[in-house]
A = this chain, B = another copy of it.
Amino acid sequence: MPPTAETPTDLPRIELRSDNAAAVAPEIMESIVEANTGSALGYGGDDVSADLTAKIREVFEHPEAEVFCVASGTAANALGLSALVPPWGSVVCHETAHILVNEPGSTTLFSAGAVLQSVGGADGKVDPDVLQAFLDGANWGDPHASQPSALSLTVPSDLGTVLDPDEIGRLTSLARARGLRCHLDGARFANAVAGLGVTPAAMSWQAGIDVLSLGAIKNGAMSTDAIVCFDPELADGFRYRTKRAGHTASKMRFQSVQLLRYLTDGLWLELAGRANAAMARLTAGLTLGGLPAMFPVDANMAFFEVPDETATAMAEAGLDFYRIRPGVIRFVTSFATTFDEVDRAIAIVGEVAGDVA
């Protein structure tokens, strides 16, 4: 379908593909520029990195938390999990989990062979009953079977839904009762915390999480996510795990400063709040227009059932987004998404859906 006269081709396209397509938040870019003064010891031996550790402990209200900047969420997840499972263990996760669907081979690499085992649950959330049944049915102590050794939860989930602290705690309790350690893939952790209005502590260690992948890149940072470790006995090992994986940055101060600024003065929650608000406005508008999201929209991501021709028309009209599978599309907002873009997106969808339907 060619663009019609009404198609606003002279306007910039609207970015709804992924929050990692966004630029760097100006505050964070500024902090990087400001950090560029004089010399400093490499590999984390600098003052900014020390400040970051202090900031993490303050923000997470945990006096022994340790933070390790790594170059990606993939690294944070796989290196984080590697500390929680033996090579013959398994990581239990939701069947839609990013570590299972999009990072295959990373956990096996860094854990030296541990496998992923998936469990189900509605709306991208691990169902406690399903988890319990899985744990009850595991062949404990049988070397012919992978031994479930860690639970990995994703919050927000890959469907854009959010487990609250109670839900997380319930799942980690079931897991801990069978000896599993607990990891949280928080690639969009800020969006969950901002959305629920709870404390970072409540969403992590107070809910039974040992190791958190703290995402920042999708929410305005440039080149660092982080492993946050709440178990002092595991922390030292991460110094070796990250170094041998090539994730201990030589000029670490420029990684640390991003996270330091991110966590200062609530910037991370402000940025996430903007993304969440944009998504809320978008889904409200689309629902009104007759296109409800497929799952609860708890953060900055939503999925919609849209015929492929409609999707094509949307794209031609200026929307950038992902087609998850035939008939299903995904919209993701970021801190940089403006209400104006949201309103244009709603208009485009309304126009095109009508046009096609």
Residues in A lying within 8 Å of B, measured CB to CB? 12, 15, 17-18, 20-24, 26, 29, 32-33, 36-43, 70-76, 78-79, 86-88, 90, 101-106, 108-109, 112-116, 143-147, 217-218, 222-223, 237, 239-251, 254-255, 320, 336
CB of A146 within 8 A of CB of B23, answer no
Residue of B nearest to A254 (CB): B222
- In Å, the complex CA distance between A151 and B254 comes to 33
- In Å, the complex CA distance between A283 and B250 comes to 26
Residue of B nearest to A79 (CB): B246
Question: In the complex, how many angstroms separate the beta carbon of A250 from the nearest chain B beta carbon?
Answer: 4
Question: In the complex, how many angstroms separate the beta carbon of A18 from the nearest chain B beta carbon?
Answer: 6
**Cβ 8 A contact of A22, one of B39, B74, B143, B320:** B39
18 A/B residue pairs, CB under 8 Å, sorted by A:
A21-B40, A23-B40, A29-B32, A33-B33, A72-B246, A72-B250, A74-B246, A74-B248, A86-B240, A104-B146, A105-B113, A105-B114, A109-B112, A112-B112, A112-B113, A218-B250, A223-B249, A245-B246
Contacts of A23 in B (CB 8 A): 36-40
- In Å, the complex CA distance between A255 and B90 comes to 30
Contact A244 B87, CB 8 Å, known A24-B251, A71-B249, A249-B72: yes
CB of B41 within 8 A of CB of A36, answer no
Other 9 A-B pairs with CB < 8 A, given A73-B246, A87-B244, A101-B145: A20-B250, A24-B251, A71-B71, A72-B249, A74-B244, A79-B246, A87-B105, A222-B223, A245-B246
CB of B250 within 8 A of CB of A73, answer yes
